[in-house]
Amino acid sequence: MVVGDDLCLQPFEQTVFPGIGIEYDDVFPYCGRTALRRRSALGKFLKQAGEGAAMRYSFPDDASMCRKREISRVVSLSMGNGLEYYNFVLYVFFAPFIGTTFFDLGPGSHTLLPALIAFGSGFLFRPLGAFVMGRMAAKRGEMPVLVLTFLLMGMASLGFVLLPGARRIGMLAPIMVFVFRAIQGFAEGGEIGPATQMLYATSTGRRQVANATMQYITQYVASLVAALVGTLVSVLFPEGALADWGWRLPFLIGSLVAVIGLRLRVGQAIRPQDRVGAAPVRMKNLSASNEGADVFSWTTAALILCVVSASALATYVRSFGVSYAMGQLHATAFTSLVAMTVGIAAGLAAMITGIALYHRVSRRLILLGTIIATELSVLPVYLICIRHPSLPTLLLLNSVTYWLSGITSAISIMTILRAIPAERRSLLFGMLYTMAVSVFGGLAQPVMEWSIDHTGWLLLPAFTTMLASPIGLVALLVLLGRSQEPPVSRVSDRCRGQGWEELVP
């Protein structure tokens, strides 16, 4: 619900209700076009009510409508990041089949390495996509840009599924694989900044923390779904059929999801245009007055880059777990996949726990505790797995590493976003994030595999995690100290049950 003369997506006038301690923008996040028809009369009522005692007026229909549209918006914004990680896990899972299909140009041809190089090439285009789409979002608004990025992702995914193999079209097949990966990388880079900004600006309070963390949650959910779908396809089809065409089915499912997500985003993009000649809608942070991130320095940029780089390195070391277990510890594919699936589930549980603890426990205490736990637990669990490789030990390894990563996700994303001015958040966050992921996303796993093969040092992933995670968390602690974290505040008890939520900025 909006009070004011502008579109319903703009922040409220900063007026506090006496006796309640909440502001207009804390009471009513945007909720859509219905509010546009009522705002004049409602604005007068709210101002009159604000001059008196505590307000006891509720709008259950509008509150329900707001919540439904918020959920729809969060789902549509999160699907791009989820589709990215879904394709990532599937590509790694079916890399041998993809290499044989598109890179088998004759006797003696290498297939697996070119397939992995083609996949990594997409990371190189992410910073370009973040820059171009970030600039476009600043001029035209975030949602039109996100419609374009999802359209590009869907087209590239579908083109990859329908592309004939090298035996039919020859050299054109590997060339088109590189083209599709370049389009996907460009779109994924342009997606992350505007989508994260809109998720952050969708609501306030506890829901803001949960919505912003959806970028991390969807990574884990998509990885889990991809692992389950890949396993199911592998079980249902014989190896010959799987190598010929069966591996394409999971990617086709992802393309269908892209169509659904595009439909949702198109609806979100046109919904606010309730008036003729309305200006492009640009999401503004609903609690921007609490942030204090008016100046963005090079020091802040370096800290954010350090946090994201360390997180990306640790993430891709963890995702290396299946190859590590099978290639170095000689575990079966089933054992490795089950252990990874349980680890992802543990990471999801840790993220939900981190969201719940965000306003209840000191954030610095959580970060310090995670640093200590990482240094004390990672090396022992790796040693146990190396000496006694089995399903229980691999379950322990994946559960510990994924939990330690997930517990700080909410603190990480909220601290980073609060450190960047709202008007430049789409561009700056997108650029910093894609720069870090482009380096570590494309290089971490090949370098890790090459290093272990040439040195035989099986503890390399353990020491990499023990080095990268604490460095990133220390940088996050410094960034947390530099930012102006809003104090915890709650709606008065007499407002509960009257249509108001408990709000914690």
Q: What are phi and psi of 247, to 5 degrees?
A: -65, -20
Q: Which residue has the higher pLDDT, 400 or 65?
A: 400
Q: Which residue has the higher pLDDT, 345 or 320?
A: 345
Q: Is the pLDDT of residue 152 over 70?
A: yes
Provide the sign of the torsion angle of the four alpha carbons 291, 295, 301, 303, taken in this order. negative
263-281: average pLDDT: 52
pLDDT at 11: 37
Q: Is the pLDDT of residue 123 over 80?
A: yes
pLDDT at 117: 82
DSSP label at 237? Answer: S
pLDDT at 106: 74
Tell me the pLDDT of the chain averaged across its residues. 76
pLDDT at 474: 95
pLDDT at 100: 87
User: In terms of Cα–Cα distance, which of 121, 124, 114, 123 is closest to 166?
Assistant: 114
For residue 151, give its domain range: 68-271+299-483
The first and second tokens of residue 295, run together, are 């100046």
pLDDT at 470: 92
Q: What is the pLDDT of residues 110-120, one digit of tens each?
A: 777 788 788 87
Measure the CA–CA gap between 287 and 27, rounded to whole angstroms.
11
Q: Is the pLDDT of residue 38 over 80?
A: no
Render the burial of 399-437: b for 16+ CB within 10 Å, e for the rest.
bbbbbbbbbbbbbbbbbbbbbbebebbbbbbbbbbbbbb
Question: What is the largest distance, in Å, between two alpha-carbon atoms of the chain?
Answer: 84
Measure the CA–CA gap between 340 and 156, rounded to whole angstroms.
28
Q: Does residue 3 fall inside a structural domain? A: no
188-209: average pLDDT: 85
Q: Does residue 428 fall inside a structural domain? A: yes
Measure the CA–CA gap between 121 and 112, rounded to whole angstroms.
14
Q: What is the pLDDT of residues 47-84, one digit of tens each?
A: 444 444 333 334 444 567 777 777 878 888 888 888 88
Q: Is the pLDDT of residue 383 over 90?
A: yes
Measure the CA–CA gap between 74 and 206, rounded to whole angstroms.
14
55-69, 231-245, 328-342, 412-426 — most confident range: 412-426
Q: Does residue 21 fall inside a structural domain? A: no
Measure the CA–CA gap between 189 and 203, rounded to whole angstroms.
24
Q: Is the pLDDT of residue 264 over 90?
A: no
Q: For helices 142-162 and 126-140, what crossing angle results, to 10°?
A: 140
Measure the CA–CA gap between 494 and 175, rounded to whole angstroms.
65
pLDDT at 281: 40
253-265: average pLDDT: 82
Residue carrying structure tokens 């079980």:
235
Q: What is the pLDDT of residues 403-454, one digit of tens each?
A: 999 999 999 999 999 998 888 888 899 999 999 888 876 677 777 877 887 8
Q: Does residue 494 fall inside a structural domain? A: no
Q: Is the pLDDT of residue 4 over 90?
A: no
Q: Which residue has the higher pLDDT, 108 or 361?
A: 361
DSSP label at 440? Answer: H
Q: Is the pLDDT of residue 299 over 50?
A: yes
215-234: average pLDDT: 84
Q: Give the pLDDT band (50/70/90) at residue 295.
A: low
CB half-sphere exposure, 133, CA atoms < 13 A: 33
Q: Does residue 236 fall inside a structural domain? A: yes
450-460: average pLDDT: 86
pLDDT at 496: 35
Q: Give the pLDDT band (50/70/90) at residue 269.
A: low
Q: Does residue 307 fall inside a structural domain? A: yes
The first and second tokens of residue 326, run together, are 């099978």
Measure the CA–CA gap between 89 and 226, rounded to whole angstroms.
6
Q: Does residue 44 fall inside a structural domain? A: no
The first and second tokens of residue 45, run together, are 């009522």
pTM: 0.74
71-100: average pLDDT: 82
pLDDT at 63: 63
Q: Which helix (H) or strand (E) holds 433?
A: helix 425-455
CATH at residue 431: 1.20.1250.20
pLDDT at 34: 37
pLDDT at 377: 95
151-155, 324-328, 349-353, 425-429 — most confident range: 349-353
Q: Does residue 164 fall inside a structural domain? A: yes
CA distances from 229 to 233, 296, 399 (A): 6, 43, 21
Domain tally, the chain:
1
Provide the sign of the torsion angle of the four alpha carbons 88, 89, 95, 98, taken in this order. negative
Q: What is the pLDDT of residues 411-421, one digit of tens each?
A: 999 999 999 88
369-378: average pLDDT: 95
CA distances from 116 to 150, 166, 198, 398 (A): 24, 16, 33, 24
139-152: average pLDDT: 86
